[in-house]
């Protein structure tokens, strides 16, 4: 199961404002996205699913629900936190998966964040069975806050 993680965006281009303003805005967005990514992973590691869900875009929760249905669960929970709890219950029942997820959460590190307007991409990596695995994840602004979207690779 791929972990859901994050990306960022925000670039204001105002005529006549100069490049420093744009760089500051982009850097602020990148920093915000990195923070969202790190806090999301920390919340997952603590199994604070309510907090974790606060970092996810609505479509990410919808996709999670669809994936849970594909696993054979009829009528999966509607709330994101309940979905994550169910997913982790399944993960916990499989020691190899439990160890894999714990390793990913422990080693996940952001490599770069690209921002364009109110959308972005987070390039990150984690160590999976001793091998560095690159991951690309989208992010977008939702009501003024950066939210993680599904992993794209």
- Which domains are delineated in the chain? 19-151 (3.10.450)
Specify which residues 72 forms β-bridges with.
none
Rounded to whole angstroms, the Cα distance separating 86 from 62 reads 15
pLDDT band at 16 (very low <50, low <70, confident <90, very high): very low
Query: 130: left (phi > 0), else alpha (psi -120 to 50), else beta?
Result: left
Q: Is residue 73 left, alpha or beta, with left meaning phi > 0 and alpha meaning psi from -120 to 50? A: beta
- Rounded to whole angstroms, the Cα distance separating 56 from 120 reads 14
The 10s digit of each residue's pLDDT in 71-104 is 888 889 999 999 999 999 989 999 899 999 999 9
Q: Give 131's strand partners.
A: 128
Calculate mean pLDDT across residues 15-24: 38
């Amino acid at each position: 199961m791929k972990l859901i993680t994050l990306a960022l965006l925000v670039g204001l281009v105002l005529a006549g404002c100069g490049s420093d303003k744009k760089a500051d805005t982009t850097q602020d967005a990148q920093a915000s996205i990195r923070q969202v990514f790190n806090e999301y992973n920390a919340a997952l590691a603590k199994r604070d699913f309510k907090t974790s869900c606060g970092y996810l875009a609505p479509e990410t929760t919808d996709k999670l629900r669809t994936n849970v249905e594909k696993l054979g669960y009829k009528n999966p929970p509607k709330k994101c936190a309940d979905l994550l709890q169910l997913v982790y219950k399944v993960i916990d029942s499989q020691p190899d998966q439990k160890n894999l997820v714990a390793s990913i959460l422990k080693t996940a590190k952001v490599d770069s964040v690209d921002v364009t307007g109110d959308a972005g991409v987070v390039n990150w990596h984690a160590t999976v069975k001793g091998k560095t695995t690159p991951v690309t994840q989208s992010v977008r602004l939702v009501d003024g806050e950066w939210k993680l979207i599904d992993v794209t690779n």
